Chains A and B, each alone.
Chain A
């Protein structure tokens, strides 16, 4: 996760009024070089919350950004280089983001922040039903043909399973492009 993304993320916990910026808990930071685009930096500058970027870059161990910045600094190559490095080249690989209001921890694993909320944080119910990809793919197609209930489809599928070959399952992927049809 780049600090650009940190600068674009706010806490989404229900009831939080000021969820920005998220705190950062660092376990692992990686650096990946990317080509500098001055156009992009100049364009995005006004959309970046500078203080949040400065604090985030310090949290991940980069202390080169000035406390204050204004658009006139975009003329300086040195400033652009530092801005570019902080915004795009430092990745929070492992760690967490923290809601500034509630302290809610959003884990970051393999560079991917998890902003999914638990039921009580969003108040929408989520069921749970795990089936294999292929089984469910078939149900997907059953669904369009029939108005059977989920349970009826499961039964039908079980009965049907013995008769059905894999090629029949993949008949919708006869595009010649996807792995199923290869």
Chain B
């Protein structure tokens, strides 16, 4: 049976939780397009930072979970309402993630280091004044500060720390986040990258970038 993103029902919502939108769909489409590689990858731990409604992590769990067992999911968000909605979304689809209300992966960085095989992130990426970043409520779902990079720039070193040797990161970015510059920055940390989905809507040009550790270079 082919997997359809439209299968994800939103069973729960909250006025302060980001509803799945073009960016969420683009990320899930990227995962779908990479589905056979993801299955082949045999991840043990998958993680989403900024899970919002749970749309992405639920899709990932459905996409992988049917194939084999022994995969575990973690998801975090700074918005406790979002984490609760994610719990309900996952339960309604018969999948499970360990959920934590926290800033990026704060609290997990020590013990989960090097264990995450798949990380997915649809960060707050919209360029806004810096003082709008990390506010309480729905604004933190997109407020990304200068060039929309404030949160992204904090996530990347954490991702580098958490990802396993074979770890992959899928990141949603906007043209104004300077995706190529992000790729170059990650290259300095030893990552190769590829834009796996590029999508333009009236308002935004989205790039989903996949990063993986590049051992060939050495």
Contact = CB atoms under 8 A, between A and B. Distances in A.
Interface stretch (B33-41, B129-137, B184-192): B129-137
B16 A133 contact: yes
Contact of B204 (A117, A131, A144, A173): A144
Interface stretch (A1-9, A60-68, A155-163): A1-9
A37 B204 CA distance: 43
A128 interface: yes
Contacts of A40: 44, 69-70, 72
A37 B138 contact: no
B139 to A, nearest CB: 6
B138 A131 contact: yes
Contacts of A95: none
Given A4-B98, A44-B44, A179-B19, A172 B136 contact: no
B25 to A, nearest CB: 6
B111 A117 contact: no
Interface string B114-133: 01000000000011110110
Contacts of B142: 140
B137 A112 contact: no
Contacts of B84: 110, 112
B180 interface: no
Contacts of B197: none
B181 interface: no
Give the interface SS of chain B, mostly helix, strand, loop or mixed.
Answer: loop
A47 B84 CA distance: 28
Contacts of B201: 172
A128 B111 CA distance: 32
A30 interface: no
A69 interface: no
Contacts of A110: 84, 87
Given A11-B107, A39-B70, A128 B101 contact: no
B57 interface: no
Most chain A C-beta atoms within 10 Å of own C-beta, residue among B110, B111, B134 = B111
Given A9-B107, A111-B87, A178 B136 contact: no
A143 B136 contact: no
Given A4-B98, A173-B21, A178-B19, A117 B110 contact: no
16 contacts: A1-B99, A4-B98, A19-B110, A49-B111, A111-B87, A116-B78, A127-B135, A143-B128, A144-B204, A150-B128, A150-B129, A172-B21, A172-B22, A175-B25, A178-B21, A178-B25
Interface of A: 1-2, 4-5, 7-12, 19-20, 34-35, 37, 39-40, 43-44, 47, 49, 110-117, 122, 124, 126-133, 136, 140-141, 143-145, 149-150, 171-173, 175, 177-180
